[in-house]
Structure 1
Amino acid sequence: MDNELLPLLQLCDSNFPSGAFSHSFGLETYIQEQVIVDKESLKTAISAFVDNQLVFSDGLACRLSCEILESSRGMNELLEIDRLLYVSSLAMETREGNRRIGERMAKLCMELYSSTTLGEYLHFIKNKQGYGHSALVFAFVAHHLQMDKEKVLSAYLFSSVSSLIQNAVRGVPLGQTDGQKLLVEMQAKIHEAKNRIMKLTKEDLGAVSPGLEIAQMRHERLSVRLFMS
């Protein structure tokens, strides 16, 4: 195995304690309303999440951050991506969930893959001058370890999809076998999403689905919840 992939595998591991296991990012709304009831309906929902939220928000931000770091354009542009991610997330729980996951990942990765740029980003987060997002943390780690940005992007998308599927396995609930089958079926969608992201520009950042945003907002009012968002 290519040694450069090992850090990516660690960040993608469902046991990596980023806090992502506590968030459904609106999917729990669909589960309670019985829009998601089985593997096929979950596949439809996650495909929509990938095509919109991941392509035009998190995934694109990860790619743009990698390119900013590669060109040494400075922290100000990275903080602008960080700010755009935060303010374009209309649902409070999703906005705060991404912030908490990002800050937690930044702290962990400073212990595991310490770098000057990641340390600077964490400093801005701690001093309320940045928000924190896992997409940027992935980019900082990748740049520090000199990884190919397309591999990083594929890993980030896979990690996000894997986390959502594992959370849905608990929430629907589904069997672990169905969850793993769905993860295999989503690999082509992840590859397609990566290729789409590589063609987008900064002006496309934040063009997400109103339906997903509304589900994320409505999650705040669910009477019983397994997840924080």
Structure 2
Amino acid sequence: MGRHARSRAIHCARGMNRGNRCNKLHGYLWSLGAHGAINCATTVFILLLRKGQVLLLLSIDNNHASLLRLLQLADSALPIGSIAHSFGLETLVAEGTLAVHQLEQFLADYMQETGRLEVVFCRQGYQLARVRDESAFVTCWPALNDRLSAFKIARESRAASATLGRRFLQLVCGLTASPRLATALQVAKARKTDVHYCIAFGLASSILDIDETLAVLAYLQQALTGLVSACQRLLPLGQTQASAIVWRLKPVLLDVAEASVAAQQWEEECAVFTPLPDIASTRHPNLPTRLFIS
């Protein structure tokens, strides 16, 4: 909202009685939005009054609310069961393949491969939410999830991603009334197709008007944090050391997010090579004792 528009709004509010001040000001602000001066759909205006005089007219962008929603959706405490999955790390530790001194480099490589694959699909889910044709969405939604299922070779990791995605989508559907999210859940149930976590995260972020890049970075951050948290239960890894690893790997997450933007040629850009985690995930059901589902 520009300086002149703000001063005119304040002038409009002065002299009004308490009964019609809010209605007239709302109408004026809406007229400004209609002429492009402000965007009333994404801005909340707060009028501070004292004894009938305008003290301050504040504008609060709804992006702040979107940020709060993103922080909640990317929180490790979100009740979808992510704490129960190690995605093969438990096998690597049990077999002596992964130790604390190897962890940071391993996670960097993991995020550059699996992380990049998943945020490419996260972006596709984000963009799919913007498709206006409902029939096109109903067709593309299960196809997108099936495509990612084909990339996930290990059954346990594939099932973990699908379980988390379905629970995430169900949770968000309960938090916000979105016909598109409800349709996504209904189509997945009707066609018995997977709902992968990264795709559902992108879809929900788009519908909740969260910036695409922020959504991708938040997804990478929570994925990395989840893996480090699993390692804290598997390895002699303290909280301070774990936090330091996550901190130092932030440039890797930024690189992965940037690389995913250019992923236009799917067959080339989505190719991943993660034999160690895939084999470990395949062997996980045969461990004598297990802390994690995957």
1:121-200, aligned counterparts within 5 Å? 121-200=184-263
Distance 1:206 1:119, change over 3 A: farther
Contact 1:121 1:130 in 2 (8 A): no
Q: CA deviation at 1:69?
A: 2.2
Residue 106 of structure 2 is aligned to residue 41 of structure 1: no
Amino acid at match of 2:274: S
2:170 aligned partner = 107
Amino acid at match of 2:102: S
RMSD of Structure 2 on Structure 1 (CA): 1.7
Q: CA deviation at 1:188?
A: 1.0
Please give the alpha-carbon distance, in whole angstroms, between the structure 1 residues aligned to 2:143 and 2:237: 39
CA deviations on 1:92-129 (whole Å, 9 max, x unpaired) are 11111111111111111111133111111111222243
Q: CA deviation at 1:59?
A: 1.2
- From 119, 127, 142, the equivalent of 1:67 is 127
Q: CA deviation at 1:191?
A: 0.6
- From 53, 70, 74, the equivalent of 1:12 is 74
1:213 aligned partner = 278
TM-score normalised per structure 2: 0.73
1:27 aligned partner = 89
Contact 1:89 1:95 in 2 (8 A): yes
Contact 1:110 1:118 in 2 (8 A): yes
Extract unaligned runs of 5+ from structure 2.
1-62
Amino acid at match of 2:74: C
Extract unaligned runs of 5+ from structure 1.
none
Amino acid at match of 2:107: I
After TM superposition, the structure 1 stretch with the greater mean CA deviation from structure 2, 150-159 or 2-11, is 2-11
Distance 1:62 1:179, change over 3 A: same
Amino acid at match of 2:108: S
Please give the alpha-carbon distance, in whole angstroms, between the structure 1 residues aligned to 2:256 and 2:177: 29
Higher relative contact order (CA 8 A, sep 6+): 1
CA deviations on 1:174-201 (whole Å, 9 max, x unpaired) are 1111111111111111111101111112
1:52 aligned partner = 113
More helix by share: 1
Residue 288 of structure 2 is aligned to residue 223 of structure 1: yes
More strand by share: 2
Contact 2:188 2:195 in 1 (8 A): yes
Please give the alpha-carbon distance, in whole angstroms, between the structure 2 residues aligned to 1:208 and 1:115: 37
After TM superposition, the structure 1 stretch with the greater mean CA deviation from structure 2, 205-214 or 61-70, is 205-214
**How many residue pairs are counted as aligned between the two chains?**
227
1:76 aligned partner = 139
Please give the alpha-carbon distance, in whole angstroms, between the structure 2 residues aligned to 1:98 and 1:43: 23
Which structure has the bigger radius of gyration? 2
Distance 1:206 1:11, change over 3 A: farther
Amino acid at match of 1:210: P
SS in 2 for 1:197: helix
2:158 aligned partner = 95
Q: Identity of counterpart residues, as a percentage?
A: 26
